[in-house]
Structure 1
Amino acid sequence: MATPTSSTPGLVLTEITKTYPGVRALDSVSVTVERGRVHAILGENGAGKSTLVGIAAGSVVPDSGTIGLAGEQVARIQPREAREKGLAIVYQTPALAPSLSVVDSVLLLLPESRRPKRRGAAAWLSAHFESLGLTIDPNAQVGSLSLREAHLIEIAAALASEPSVLVLDEPTEALGNDETRWLFERIDELLAKNVGIVYITHRIPEVVEIASDLTVLRDGKVVGRGKVADFSEDQIVELIVGRSLETTFPDKSSSEPGVQPALEVVDATGPGFRSVSFTVAPGRIVGLAGVEGNGQRELLRALSGKGPMAGTVRVNGTPLARRSAKAGSQLGIAYLPGDRIGEAMFGKMSVRENIVAPSIDLAMPAGFLDRPREYRLTREAIAGLAVKTPTLETPVTSLSGGSQQKVLLARARLGDPKVLLVEDPTQGVDAGARVEIYAFLRRMAESGVAVVVLSTDAVELEGLCDSVLVFSRGRVMVTLDGDQVTERAITGTAVLSQREHESAPVVSAVPSGARRSWWRGEGQAGVLVGLILVLGAVTTLVAPAFLNPLNISQTLATAGTLVVVGLAQLLVVMTGGIDLSIGSVVALAGVITSFFAHGSIVLFVAGVALSIVAGLVVGVVNGLLATRLNIPPVIATLVTSIAVLGLAQVLRPQPSETATDEIMTLIGTTVAGVPLILVAAILIAVVLWLIIGRTRLGRGLRAAGSDPVKANRMGVSVRAMRMFASVAAGGLAAVAGFALYTTTGIGDANTGQTLTLTSVTAIVIAGASIFGGSGSAIAVAAAGLLLETITSALTFLSLSLSWQYWVQGAFVLVAAVIPLVARFVRTRRLIAPPTAPPSGAVAEAAP
């Protein structure tokens, strides 16, 4: 392998070609990124930038070409290998699995050579954040963070890897001015260390400010390259869009004063903002500005009904009586959130379905499908927006960012809104689409709609808005109008307001532990143990024989089976699937074991080992069907369940004889009065708990189930994680089959079938997400004990069969609802209105 030197280019992509069905994303593209320089890669959405970055990072495999990194040329590279060779990447959509903690996510992102031990990782990460001016709780759950916080965490992780090449894909889209300045300072520090920077952005002023070199892509080909200093901003834009842009922003409103406001907001107060009042007349566009985190975003969401708020809101003179998104929509308020994919769109649905979704009554006036009417309404809605889509049935997620935003704008227009609230209208949108979106917003205003735009781009606010409200500390510091709306005034007012009140850290602190997923872990296990004790105490008062040693021993032994099947299901569910073959594997393992239960102990042990091997083989088959043939795990395991059950019934058409006394004595062994099988089950749960929470394998399992795309970008092999889960689940199900055999000593193909449903019940009441990404093995063990305690207690309470079902269902419901209630209470506490600042701490809003 070649040894890189200080003069060796940081990254060399040579003749890269990548073709998707019907589309050539990249056509013989070559880029050389020198060390100690910022190389901007520019182009409209769909030009091939993200594909090129994915190839360099290893998440996309090229059809041809070579990747040069760390002095070595390869045809393809794996994400983990790219990180080890010194490449760090910050994606436009942060590659952080939502179900992981911040510290676990960062550990996955770091190369092996830079990764600290897990035990001290939280303290190490806190110190790293502090050195960067960030105050984020390392134990916070990623899914509870804002997009802005997630971006900063990924940037911090990239910096911690001490890269030789750093790729930044639209890094400032979710950042405010302060965070952008902070990032540019970090870039300067990296350049001083001879690090090569790849910078992808749609913001041309940023390119001019920090980049040395540029490469422009259009339709997958290089259409321009050179030194940034040799191009003007207009020339760069013309290269990107392939045409000259005579004007970027449409003419502003010429509406006369004195018109009745379309939107009136009086004394709006909520989490993050206080005493905000303003009006928007029909035909005008009002912008919300300020340093990120000063309440403007919270206000916009509250006006849409997405957040709590006190105060008065009127639309065309009619007050908004109820604070909800539905009530706002009925009154004529349309809201377009900044997080298009995560919050605004139905990702797997078509363009047509996304556009007509909020106007379903209009599309189906009689309540029945009217496809021609849907098509007509959809075409009317997107008219003039130049949505680039092959057909109206194309999944909306396959469109570019600009076309996705146009789909949302078309949806809003179809609903005939009176007020349009738009958050970051051009985030992730290319230069050409920006012009079209600006023109559309102005046409909406001219049609009589009151438009409110929140943007972190002061240039955008200057060119688009008739008035701008500048926020600081949750209040409107200044209202700029007419000729006062300039980039200098917007930025200056925001920055000076911050300095006047002492600027806060880049990210406001998150209360330690406030965002941890506590009730999906050991806290839930404590709740379940408490329910067990309560149920045991009540049953003992009614029927003291419940504490009979024989009953306790039988209950604990049977609980061992439930614990193990729950753990088997947990692994598969954690990776995003459900295993319907568990009950059949339990039956097969018991049947195989029974054939060896009438000889020597050595032969019996060999039979148990053979049954576990059979379970592992079933797991391999399940894994191959799911990962190689891409059959959904539910379908794959349903097929294998039927086949395995059939095999068990062929082997044992009738139940076997009871095992020999010697073997029954062996399998009935206890430890301090506790059946050995339960002790083994608890040990397995502890081992899995350590693996899931404390190892790279556990982080990979959770990441794969939480978000496969992000997991892949983090360097996790989703296919390998799902295969491991399937095989381990098969093995554990076989262990559960042996555990069940220890309670009966009989091999019966018809036993164990109900355990599939029981395993799902166990993980649900243990607080694990059935959608994948989370779960605690300790909580699952407690759930298994609770389920068997319920069954045993109901027998002693002499309840009829119907009452047994009712009581058992009630306990399961309580156990499942408790985490939901806890999360609701915690959420309400987090969004409680802030304490009013001291008198005089914040200047009054300008009239």
Structure 2
Amino acid sequence: MNETVTPPAPLLTLAGIGKQYPGVRALDDVSLTVLPGEVHAVLGENGAGKSTLVGIAAGSVVPDTGTIDLGGVTRSRMVPREARERGLAIVYQTPALAPSLTVVDAMLLLLPESVRPSRRTATAWTAELFARLGLEIDVRRRVSAISQREAHLVEIAAALASEPSVLVLDEPTEALGADETAWLFAQVHELLAKGAGVVYITHRIPEVMEIADRMTVLRDGKAVGRGDVASYTADEIVELIVGRSLETTFPAKAVAGDAADVLSTSGFTGRAFRDVAFSARGGEIVGLAGVEGNGQREFMKALAGAVRGSGELRLNGRELRGLNTKRATAAGIVWLPGDRLGEAMFGQLSVRENVIAPNLAQAMPAGVVSPRTENRLVHEAIGGLAVKTPTIETPITSLSGGSQQKVLLARARLGSPAVLLVEDPTQGVDAGARVEIYAFLRAMADDGVAVVILSTDAVELEGLCDRVVVFSRGRVQAELEGDRLTEREITRAAVLATETSLNDDADAADLTSKKGLPLYQRGEVQTVSLVVITVLLALVTAGIAPSFLSSLSLGQLFASAAILILVGLAQLAVVITGGIDLSIGSVVALSAVIVSFFGEAGPGFLLLGFVVAIAAGAVVGVVNGLLVTRLGMPPVIATLVSSIAVLGGAQLLRPQPGGQASADLMTALGTAIAGVPLVLVVAVAVAVLLWLGLNNTGLGRGFRAAGSDAVKANRMGVDVNRMRLTATVASGVLASIAGIVLFTKTGIGDAGAAQAFTLTSVTAIVIAGVSIFGGSGSALAVGAAALLLQTITSALPFLGVNLSWQYWLQGLFVLVAAVLPMAVRLRRRRSIPG
């Protein structure tokens, strides 16, 4: 009797998945199952929907239709944390590691609760894990200080350590060498032996043939093929991936001739490409191809001077040295970036202004713009391109993608270039506009211009180009022309490449990670430096005016410093998550005003006032957070609006200063310990607690990840909106505590007495070295910066200097604190070859 074998239950099932982006159907009714013990390859060209599909499984992308079944639970959508806890681990093509975190902190965020070590043991645990896996990476360093290869390895290590039931690998070997790829495959086989399933996304067919059991092929967002990998040859898989014929009419190609090279390179090397020999002749169109991320885009940018390259670069036989975009343009190299809105266009300007911007010298031959000349030049430039615009004064952002690209091409033509570099010439362009753009590029070539295009569309490259140079892992894999220049051969050269990664033999100076202090060490160097400056300033002042160190003077200094420390910490809480809070001064004022209504009835009643004031600050924080996270308002606008409203409320409560506390109560509130006011002890304690929280808790890691890179933080399982809402509430609470301290110092409620604290809070975090873009900063350094600012203010009268100098000195400190790191980064960037 034949027994029926029951197939194993799927570990992951995606059913009927659909995802629509503006103008693009990324996925259309796609289904996928992953079984225990198998590697399921997901294949397709760039833009086929592969990464979107696995992003939906991992929870970083929300589907429009369909369901996800993971760990026996069916959902219409997942969130990254739930997916991770249910056994799915993912390694993204671009590592999802927030740059400001240390490697240890990144690991802690990536690991599920079931295997996550405590923060106290995490450093040793991670180091032991890396040693066991054979990874030589310093776990204490920041993610921003390690190389792309190391970041990939960290994410792989976290995925393996999470003991997943489903492991998703999205182009995992792009940054790895041959030995590291073999290591990864060995790890995959160990997982399979434990009954796990693996989803493997790649363009590299040899890897699919080596490791995959089943495959699903996507094309234009649809599943067009699936089956056992063993049933297909490599060529048949390539055919499934391509699966289409030329659909667009292309202009006739150039007749082969012996034109001289206009642009050529030899031994050209940069950060993502190496030893490239390349040439482009006048009258021809040369294409740059390859799987995205293999160096071709960086190579084009180096030709345009947008990134550095070393080696020989010649234009019409003349060597170009020290190339940047300005020098490249002056030499006749015109570059059109693929990111039209972000890099190529002036989004708020008109068609006329966009065309003429790089060509002002032609429009103003006498040094003054001639409207007649300008209009003539613009109409000549866009003539024949069928730009669909009501007038040349129409904002360029109101045009279609095709017309925008035509305006940029018109701008390039007006510059009479020797070389035209175009990234993704028809991205986001409809079919009709594509034909016109192709004809324009061919006409430019026919006029003797060397045209170089970079495209991810093999059909486009086949139909338009005279030659195509295919890149793989930073090197030229193949150069195709004539009968060999076909979509099939372009795709084949890219996906069948066996070229090793640059990391196998690149110079250490080029590709190894840069040394840098761990985040916590960097912050505390700043703390020590600020404390030393403060002590030196105090000693100098005391040498001139000994009374500066009297108990009365120091008591006033410390009490005032406590307020500055608290407002600085309030600003830090928000800035570290990527925001800013302009309502801090208003909250301080409101808090002091509220407490002033409770100060005349005794200590017990005053304590109730403290509670009410802190609650009011928390409410303001909630409002700020909801405006930012729910309504999507920029933090500057949201907190400015709330600041005005809160200040208005404080003024309604206290139109005039009032609520004087009794002398006995003021004496009690001014209690000192060993000559140090109690309020300063409280402020320092808050700083220490915040420092510990930011560096040693999951919430602190979430704060820093959210501010460092919101997209990567979301992929790591951080609820970015919750982090930002929590931060604004914390800011409101800390500002309200500062208001309470202000009342203990003045003994009166004054709605107009605290507005300067908002500016002071920003000054303190800048001097403390906090990144104004979010992600990093030390609470201890902020406390030290606040103490320095107050010491400056207190010392000036003793030095016989007008108090207005405090603003000049604060401005000088801010300038130095802001400019010095920028100068250091610029120097490092210039010192890095390529």
TM-score if structure 1 supplies the norm length?
Answer: 0.78
- In structure 2, the partner of 1:320 is 320
Cα pair distance change 1:626/1:518, threshold 3 Å: same
Q: Evaluate the alpha carbon distance shift between residue 268 and residue 572 of structure 1 in structure 2; reply closer, same or farther with a 3 A threshold.
A: same
Equivalent of residue 811 in structure 1, options 810, 813, 816: 813
2:686 counterpart residue number: 684
Rate the CA distance shift 1:716–1:302 in 2: closer, same or farther, 3 A. Answer: same
CA contact (8 A) 2:356 2:363 kept: no
Q: Displacement, 1:122?
A: 3.8
| Deviation (angstroms), 1:721 | 0.6
Shift of residue 171, structure 1, vs aligned partner: 3.7
- Matches of 1:232 and 1:446, distance apart in 2: 41
1:698 Cα shift? 1.0
What percent identity do the matched residue pairs reach? 58
Contact 2:625 2:724 in 1 (8 A): yes
Deviates more, 1:207-216 or 1:619-628: 207-216
Query: 3-state DSSP class of the match of 2:89?
Result: strand
Structure 1 position 526, deviation (Å): 2.5
Q: CA deviation at 1:120?
A: 3.9
- SS at 2:773's partner residue? coil
**Structure 1, unpaired ranges of 5+:** 384-390, 428-433, 834-847
Trace 1:565-644 onto structure 2 (pairs within 5 A): 565-644=567-646
Structure 2 equivalent of residue 522 of structure 1: 524
Aligned residue number for residue 225 of structure 1: 226
C-alpha deviation, 1:332, in angstroms: 3.0
Task: Give the Cα separation in 1 of the matches to 2:471 and 2:46.
Answer: 31
CA distance in 1 between partners of 2:294 and 2:212 (Å): 30
Which runs of 5 or more residues in structure 2 are unaligned? 1-5, 388-394, 428-433
Aligned to 2:142: 141
| 1:536 alignment partner AA | A
Equivalent position of 2:329 in the other structure = 329
Selected match of 1:510 from 493, 513, 522: 513
Give the whole-Å Cα distance in 2 for the aligned partners of 1:642 and 1:377: 50
1:109 aligns with 2:110: yes
- 1:117-266 → structure 2 map (5 Å cutoff): 117-132=118-133, 134-145=135-146, 147-172=148-173, 183-203=184-204, 206-218=207-219, 220-231=221-232, 243-244=244-245, 260-263=260-263
Q: Which residue of 1 aligns with 2:727?
A: 725
User: In structure 2, what residue type is equivalent to 1:652?
Assistant: R
Pairwise CA distance, 1:498:
10
Give the deviation of 1:651 after TM superposition.
1.7
Question: Residue 262 of structure 1: CA displacement?
Answer: 2.5
1:112 alignment partner, SS class: coil
In 2, distance between residues paired with 1:293 and 1:222? 24
What's the counterpart of residue 82 of structure 2? 81
Alignment check: 8 A CA contact 1:136 1:509 kept: no
Give the distance between the partners of 1:718 and 1:227, measured in 2 at CA.
Answer: 40
CA shift for structure 1 position 755: 0.6
8 Å contact 1:238–1:244 — kept in the other structure?
no
Q: Would you say the 8 A contact 1:336–1:344 is kept in 2? A: no
Q: Indicate conservation of the 8 Å contact 1:137/1:512, yes or no.
A: no
Range that drifts further, 736-745 or 281-290:
281-290
For this pair of structures, how many residues does the alignment match?
804
> In the alignment, does 2:357 pair up with 1:360?
yes
Distance 1:238 1:293, change over 3 A: closer
1:786 alignment counterpart: 788
Q: What is the SS of the residue equivalent to 1:262?
A: strand
The secondary structure found in structure 2 opposite 1:39 is strand
Partners of 1:347 and 1:281 lie apart in 2 by 25
User: Match of 1:55, as an amino acid?
Assistant: I
1:662 aligned residue (656, 661, 664): 664
With over 3 angstroms needed to count, the CA separation of the structure-2 counterparts of 1:189 and 1:424, relative to structure 1, is: farther
| SS at structure 2 position matched to 1:807 | helix
Could you tell which deviates more after superposition, 555-564 or 90-99?
90-99
Contact between 1:288 and 1:471, CA under 8 Å: does it hold in 2?
no
Contact 1:169 1:201 in 2 (8 A): yes
The aligned counterpart of 1:749 is 751
Q: Deviations over 1:760-811 (max 9, x none)?
A: 1111111112222222111111111111111112222222355443333223
Contact 2:344–2:408 at 8 Å: present in 1 too?
Answer: no
After the TM superposition, which of the residue ranges 439-448 and 770-779 deviates more from structure 2? Answer: 439-448
Following the alignment from structure 1 to structure 2, what is the Cα–Cα distance between the partners of residues 395 and 520? 48
2:98 is the counterpart of 1:97: yes
C-alpha distance in 1 between matches for 2:218 and 2:724: 37
Do 1:345 and 1:354's aligned partners in 2 also have CA atoms closer than 8 Å? no
Shift of 1:742: 1.8
Task: Tell me whether 486-495 or 215-224 shows the greater mean CA deviation.
Answer: 486-495
The aligned residue for residue 36 of structure 1 is 37
Counterparts in 2 of 1:417-566, with a 5 A limit? Answer: 417-419=417-419, 509-510=512-513, 512-513=515-516, 516=518, 521-566=523-568
Over 3 Å counting, the alpha-carbon distance change for 1:811 and 1:769 in structure 2 is closer
1:844 — aligned with what?
Answer: none
Q: Could you tell me how far apart the structure 1 residues matched to 2:384 and 2:703 are?
A: 46
User: Which range moved further: 765-774 or 322-331?
Assistant: 322-331
Deviation at 1:276, TM superposition (A): 9.2
Residue 438 to residue 102, structure 1, CA distance change in 2 (3 Å): farther
- What is the distance in 2 between the residues matched to 1:426 and 1:138? 44
CA distance in 2, matches of 1:254, 1:217: 37
Contact 2:382 2:406 in 1 (8 A): no
**8 Å Cα contact 2:203/2:495 also seen in 1:** no
Q: CA deviation at 1:744?
A: 1.1
- Secondary structure of the 2:808 match is helix
Deviation at 1:674, TM superposition (A): 1.4
- Distance in 2, matches of 1:749 and 1:218, equals 64
Query: Among 794, 797, 816, which residue is 2:799 paired with?
Result: 797
- Give the counterpart letter for 1:161 in structure 2: S
Are the equivalent residues in 1 in contact too, given 2:396–2:404 (CA < 8 A)? no
- Structure-2 separation of matches of 1:377 and 1:92: 41
1:375 Cα offset (Å): 10
2:385–2:406 contact (8 Å) kept in structure 1: no
Partner of 1:772: 774
Q: Distance in 2 between matches of 1:44 and 1:698?
A: 39
Contact map agreement 1:382 1:407 (CA 8 A) in 2: no
Cα drift, residue 670 of structure 1: 1.4
Q: How far does residue 746 in structure 1 lie from its aligned partner after superposition?
A: 1.3
CA contact (8 A) 2:352 2:375 kept: no
- State yes or no: 1:736 paired with 2:738: yes
CA distance in 2, matches of 1:23, 1:266: 40
Once the two structures are superposed, what CA deviation does each residue of 1:286-307 show, in whole Å capped at 9, x if it has no partner? 99999x9999999877665456
Letter in 1 for 2:557: T
Amino acid at match of 2:91: V
For residues 596-616 of structure 1, the C-alpha deviation after alignment (integer angstroms, 9 at most, x for no partner) is 222222222221122111111
1:78 is aligned with what amino acid? V
Deviation at residue 150 of structure 1 after TM alignment? 3.7
What CA distance in whole angstroms lies between the structure 2 residues aligned with 1:76 and 1:470?
37
SS in 2 for 1:168: strand
CA gap of 1:418–1:21, structure 2 versus 1, over 3 A, is closer
Is contact 1:268–1:311 with CA below 8 Å preserved after alignment?
yes
Checking the alignment, whether the CA contact within 8 Å between 2:354 and 2:408 is kept in structure 1 is no
Conservation of the 8 A alpha-carbon contact between 2:262 and 2:450: yes
Q: In 2, distance between residues paired with 1:696 and 1:592? A: 34
* 1:698 corresponding residue in structure 2: 700
Q: Is the 8 A contact 2:478 2:493 kept in 1?
A: no
2: distance between equivalents of 1:526 and 1:350?
A: 45
State the SS of the aligned residue for 1:198. strand
Distance across 2 between alignment mates of 1:312 and 1:94? 33
